[in-house]
Amino acid sequence: MNVPKVKRRRDPLSPKPVLDRRILIQALKERGIHLKELHLETFYQQLHRQHYPDLKDFVAEYHRRELSLTFKKESSSFSNKATIPTKNAISSKKGNVRRLPKAFLDFLADPENDFVTVTSSIDARPTSKDGTTTKMAIQLQDGHFIESVLMRHVSAAGSRATLCVSSQVGCAMGCTFCATGTMGIRGNLCSGEILEQLVHAGRVLAADLISSSEEYNSDDRIISADGSERKKSEQDLAFVRNIVFMGMGEPLNNYDNVITACRAMIDRRRWNLAHGRVTVSTVGVTGNMRRLTKDLPEVNLALSLHAPNQSMREAIVPTAKMYPIQDMVDALDEHMMASIKTKSVDGTFDGSERKSASKKKRAMIEYVMCKLCSRLQSLVPTPSAHMQIRSFFSERRYFHPSMCTSTG
């Protein structure tokens, strides 16, 4: 039996993802097409409104809409998408949309320019028995696979959908308890490939919404096809509300692409996620943690600490030798307090200032509790590690420890 070779590096992108802003701008410049920033924003806004069709279909739809507006008729160009909502009023607002240059539309419609809306595909998407979790095995154009996880939180007080996204193929950090860490690094995802995970998740949620055949009535409840009732708050499951970079890869080792993707996620013309609804998880790349504080201080940070002290951490996180715990915690502290101006002379924050910061955003501390692993049991006593970490962060009101149990 011939076993296929595992690719160690990623192939050059072909076709190229139109959702990758940097790649698209570079290609336009090479062809002598100078597109204004406002036109690019308009393109991405309208692509979002059309729910990310093929580029040829997008251009045809755009021309039909322009023709209908020319004759001052009510456009029906989005009628085939009426059952799929958009997240916010801005991305779906009629009128006041700038027209796109003809040269740019011709570029999009020309297949020889090697751009497509979505370069990846869902290979498998099993859903849990209770319907709350869908794991998407996404195949990239070069044959590599990544995983995204769609989590539905159903509550009478208000439901929400959270998407866990990958940022790399594999990971270079080498954490001994992590399956991705043992793969090694195969390559970075470009920003377009990161955003495609949102497109796939949106299509899954839209399919769920359509298949449910729900009708709305005037008493603020939803009547499902089976006759059951649910509060209208559950229609929030039609959209991805939260993003967590906790899939494959170390996000801050792919800094530029992750930052570009984050900015698209919070763009009010597109996904329009609140800054606090985007969380970047890191094993502790302190230099880029501080860069993130300067570039996007409003997004949340999650620190994969995994041990209460440096020696324990180095036993399970090989790269920990380069990133001392205290330095990581200081960087996280700077990020969390970035929006608060301290009144103290020495630059420290008192309890009231930390309480104020906790109302704006929270930090998550992730740690693994190892068991059935003789090499680690003597180094990481699971009950005491839990208490040590809580004690370590007791003065910081915005930290919320999160536990993961490993059976490695």
The pLDDT tens digits of the residues spanning 29-55 come to 999 999 999 999 999 999 999 999 999
Quick check: 399 pLDDT over 70? Answer: no
Residue 146's pLDDT band (boundaries 50, 70, 90)? Answer: very high
Q: What is the pLDDT of residue 82?
A: 42
Report yes or no: 195 and 167 within 8 Å, Cβ to Cβ.
no
Q: What is the pLDDT of residue 313?
A: 85
- Residue 95 has φ and ψ, to the nearest 5°, of 75, 175
Average the pLDDT over 203-219 and give the result: 69
- Residue 116 has φ and ψ, to the nearest 5°, of -135, 165
The pLDDT tens digits of the residues spanning 48-77 come to 999 999 999 999 999 998 877 666 544 444
The pLDDT tens digits of the residues spanning 347-379 come to 566 556 665 655 566 667 776 655 544 444 445
The pLDDT tens digits of the residues spanning 89-145 come to 555 555 555 789 999 999 999 999 999 999 999 999 999 999 899 999 999 999 999
Considering only CA atoms, which of 133, 140, 279 is closest in space to residue 196? 140
Residue 182's pLDDT band (boundaries 50, 70, 90)? Answer: confident
Quick check: 214 pLDDT over 60? Answer: no
Strand partners, 142: none
Distance CA 50, CA 270 (A): 11
Q: What is the pLDDT of residue 12?
A: 86
DSSP 309-351: SHHHHHHH-GGGGGS-HHHHHHHHHHHHTTT----STTS---H
Q: What is the pLDDT of residue 84?
A: 56
Report yes or no: 137 and 214 within 8 Å, Cβ to Cβ.
no
Of 234-243, 244-253, 313-322, give the lowest mean pLDDT range: 234-243
Report yes or no: 282 and 291 within 8 Å, Cβ to Cβ.
no
Distance CA 206, CA 82 (A): 11
Q: What is the pLDDT of residue 223?
A: 43
pTM: 0.83
Quick check: 2 pLDDT over 80? Answer: no
Q: What is the pLDDT of residue 348?
A: 61
Cis ω before 324 (30° cut-off from 0): no
Residue labelled with tokens 């399956």: 179
Of 196-210, 220-234, 239-253, give the lowest mean pLDDT range: 220-234
Average the pLDDT over 330-337 and give the result: 85
What average pLDDT is seen over the chain? Answer: 80
Q: What is the pLDDT of residue 218?
A: 42
Q: What is the pLDDT of residue 217?
A: 46
